[in-house]
Amino acid sequence: MSIFSLALRNLLYRPWTTALSLILAALGAGLISLILLLNWQLEQQFDRNLAGIDLVIGAKGSPLQLMMSSMYHISSPTGNVPLERVKPFLNPQHPYIELGVPLSLGDSYQGRRIVGTRPGFLQLYDAQVADGTMWKEVMDVVAGATAARELGLQLGDTFRSSHGLIEDDDLTHRDAPEFRIVGILAPTGTVADLVLLTPTESLWAVHDTHDHEAGEEQHAAEPYDVTAPLTRYTDESITSVLVRFKGNSITALNMQRSINENTEMQAVTPSIQLAELYATVGQGEAVLRQLGYVVVSVSILSIFIGLYSSLDRRRGELALLRSLGAGPAKLFGLLLLEGTITAVAGAIIGLLVSHFGMLLIARYFSDAYRYDFQALVFLPEEGWLLLGALVVGAIAAAVPALRAANTDVHRTLSGG
């Protein structure tokens, strides 16, 4: 029967008061931890997938939408741009551009996006082919690690794509040629894991079959060569170009402005878009965070009231403990323990609940957006949260504990 177990028994002896305090502490800690986790996850996902991309060039429309569709593969693309217009950005000899990666979006297979591109895409995300080989022909597919795992794709598997980004049997390109898996990427922790990569020409080939009947002859004359630069084609179109610059960001800003002002296309600087996005999300987050602080204050109050109101009933007990040889410091410690145990236990429950919530959110995100959130990551901030709970419990218990320590043994025991 140590002071610690006595504190524990006292808490269990008044279960409703303790439960209320626990729930409030858990709510406060859980809310704050959930905000921390979500924030961390979002920034982690967004920042990791920045991949040094300085500029996204595509059709006019919402800049956020262009960035989201081309970089994060969330939401629909803004439209297509003629290949002719973006050729300069795909030129490897461009003086300012280190890497220009063309993207053709809009088709999917069982909810996983098919991205028509050039091998530069792998370079952008530091991706390596782990199994099989890089594509050599039209309709060859190199699958991202997660996509391959979740779709159960093996080397040599074939499939038909469907039009659009949702899983819909009616939209399957039935007459189109089949895609064939020739390679699977090693995991990178970026969006490269989530998509199915294929040469740009594959998407043209799929759409040739039904878009324009005359296409066959045209391409008979000009067969696709997936190893040649994309710039050799003339009257095709793609969705966007991801650009990484050689030098500083002044070039990026100038080029962005000139594209936006002088062409039918738009150029978006991801870092600026992200900052704006964070600012928007941040407002909601600030509200939630303040709500969290309010709940924490209420939980301090609840612990305080719980302990303080128990003092009257426990005056005899406390005097008894003193008469049995427990010093004032022990009584102070007893009440302090009761406060901190409640706060810390509540915080631990809150963290568990928030991680469980994170698990659900992660599941939702992975279903809806194919993004993988890690629900079981514990952030260093959460350690601080527990430490904070300790402080909060001590603050809440300080005054009752002081009163307990000052129990007048003689007066209490003689019934005064």
Partner 1 sequence: MLVTRTLRYRYPGAGPEFRFPDLAVAATEPTLLLGPSGSGKSTWLHLLAGVLTPTAGSSVLEGTDYAQLKGGALDRFRGRNIGLVLQRPYFLEALTVEENLAIARRTAGLAADRDLIRSTLAQLGIARYAGQRPRRLSVGEQQRVTIARALVNRPHLILADEPTSALDNRNAARVSALLRQRAAELGAALVVVTHDERLRGDFPAVVELQPLPNPETS
Task: Give me the residues that bind partner 1 (CB under 8 A), please.
Answer: 1-2, 6, 9-10, 12-13, 316-317, 319-327, 330, 409-410, 413-415
Cβ-based nearer residue to partner 1, 2 or 262: 2
Report the nearest approach of partner 1 to the CB of residue 317 (Å).
5
Q: What is the DSSP string of 37-63?
A: HHHHHHHHHHHHTTTT--EEEEESS-H
CA distances in angstroms from 194 to 20, 45, 72, 146, 253, listed in the order given: 44, 12, 10, 6, 30
Report the nearest approach of partner 1 to the CB of residue 15 (Å).
11
Please choose, from the candidates 339, 283, 246, 320, the residue with its C-alpha nearest in 3D space to the C-alpha of residue 24.
Answer: 339
Report the nearest approach of partner 1 to the CB of residue 7 (Å).
9
Cβ-based nearer residue to partner 1, 56 or 321: 321
Cβ-based nearer residue to partner 1, 88 or 316: 316
Between CA 239 and CA 231 the distance in angstroms is: 15
Report the nearest approach of partner 1 to the CB of residue 338 (Å).
11
Report the nearest approach of partner 1 to the CB of residue 68 (Å).
57
**86-94 long-range Cβ contacts below 8 angstroms, 24+ apart:** 86/57, 86/238, 86/241, 86/265, 87/231, 89/57, 89/241, 89/243, 90/118, 90/229, 90/230, 90/231, 90/241, 91/231, 92/229
Would you call 332 helix, strand, or coil by DSSP? helix
Q: Please give the single-letter amino acid code of residue 369.
A: Y
Cβ-based nearer residue to partner 1, 213 or 313: 313
Report the nearest approach of partner 1 to the CB of residue 11 (Å).
8
Report the nearest approach of partner 1 to the CB of residue 405 (Å).
12
Q: Please give the single-letter amino acid code of residue 365.
A: F
Give the phi and the psi of residue 401 in degrees, each rounded to 5. Answer: -65, -40
Cβ-based nearer residue to partner 1, 221 or 324: 324
Cβ-based nearer residue to partner 1, 207 or 322: 322
Cβ-based nearer residue to partner 1, 64 or 409: 409
